[in-house]
Structure formats: C-alpha cells, structure tokens
Amino acid sequence: MTEKKGLSALEVLKNGPVIPVIVIRNPDHAVPLAQALLAGGIRVLEITLRSDAALESISRIRSEVPDALVGAGTVLSGQDLQAVAKAGGYFAISPGLTPNLLATARQESIPLIPGVASASELMLALEAGLTELKFFPAQAAGGVEMLKSFNSPFPQVTFCPTGGITLQNYKEYLSLKNVACVGGSWLVPADKIEQREWSAITRLAQEAVAGAAGTF
C-alpha cells in the first residue's frame, strides 16, 4: 500500500465545520472562488468531478492558493481517483465504495472518503479499514436520526453528511458527536460563481462558519 504522505482523512474532515460542494464550469473561476471562501474562513474545498473544468480547477487552486486544502468530490472510479491525485488534490470523496475504487485508493497517496447510506455499507467500509466516511444522501437516507442511530454500534466512525444539507439544518448535524463537518452547495450558488460575485460568497462562508461556532 502506498504511504499516505499528505493529510489523513480525519485531518481533512476536522479542518473546518463546513465543506463547500463546488461545481466549477470555467477554470478561470477556480482561484478567485477559492480565495473568496478562504476569506470567509473556509479552507477545505470539494471540487466535484461534474464538469470538464474540475481537474484543471483543482490544479490551479493547489498551485495558486496554497492555504486551501482542495480535493475532489463525485469520484466514481479508480481512474477518477488517480486523476485527482495527479491534479494535486489533497483528498477524494465518493458517493459510494466499490472494489475497484478501494483497490486504487490503497495504491494512491491521498485519502479516500467514501459515502455510505446504510449499516451494511458502513460495515464494508470498516472492513476496508476506513473510519472517516461521507453520509450520503444525508437527508434522504435518514438524516440526523440515522446518524444518531449509527453512533452506538459504530462509535469509531466520523462522518461528513452531504446531500440535502442547508443553512436551515446544518447546525443540527454539526451538534452530533459523530459528525466532524458537513458538506453543502448553498455556500457556492452557481449564479454567484457565474457572475463572479466573490464578496457574496465570502459573506455566505462567514455566515456558515459563525453559525457553526456554537455547535461543538
């Protein structure tokens, strides 16, 4: 297995209470967006592989915004994970876990944070030695009550719930002892990115960080 020389999955999840789930369609938006989020107090950035600009955006942020911890979401295959590592991503987040993805993760130097939605999927992740997981799709899969139920049989697991997380409910998730952070797209509205309203995104980040302060 390749030695993990960078951040661990736990270090990624504990670097901030909110991880923005970002879709970038123009790589020229990547650096100013990252700078806007950093100015608002958010350091960990998840760039989803839902556009052709994602990998270049990760590379630009890694090169030009060194204080940001940029990684990828929507990592669906071993090839995706390899591409993220090559682009300079610090981590890879997947909606699920497959044998191919796990095998590749064991050979790569960046941590994989896979998604689970049930106890059986969680147990498979534990068998693979993974204890930092994405709970996805959080709201549809049982939300806060499901995570509360997971805590007793799986106290060693740390979660980042994503999917249906909003400004209205994120504090409830963050109050749970087995949740390190949440992932949400409300911090990075597509229209604000397209219109380059970076100050508005900084304000959204500041609001989220300030609101999270009283939940731990």
Reported as type and span, the H/E element at residue 69 is: strand 69-73
Preceding omega of 137 cis (within 30 degrees of 0): yes
Among residues 46, 108, 132, 192, which one is catalytic?
Answer: 46
Question: Sign of dihedral through CA atoms 69, 37, 41, 13?
Answer: negative
Per-residue tokens: 62:
């890694």
Q: Which residue from 2, 53, 38 is spatially nearest to 206, judged by alpha carbons?
A: 38
Among residues 108, 132, 134, 192, which one is catalytic?
Answer: 134
46 is an active site residue: yes
Q: Which residue from 10, 91, 15 is spatially nearest to 46, judged by alpha carbons?
A: 91
Query: Which residues does the annotation mark as catalytic?
Result: 46, 134
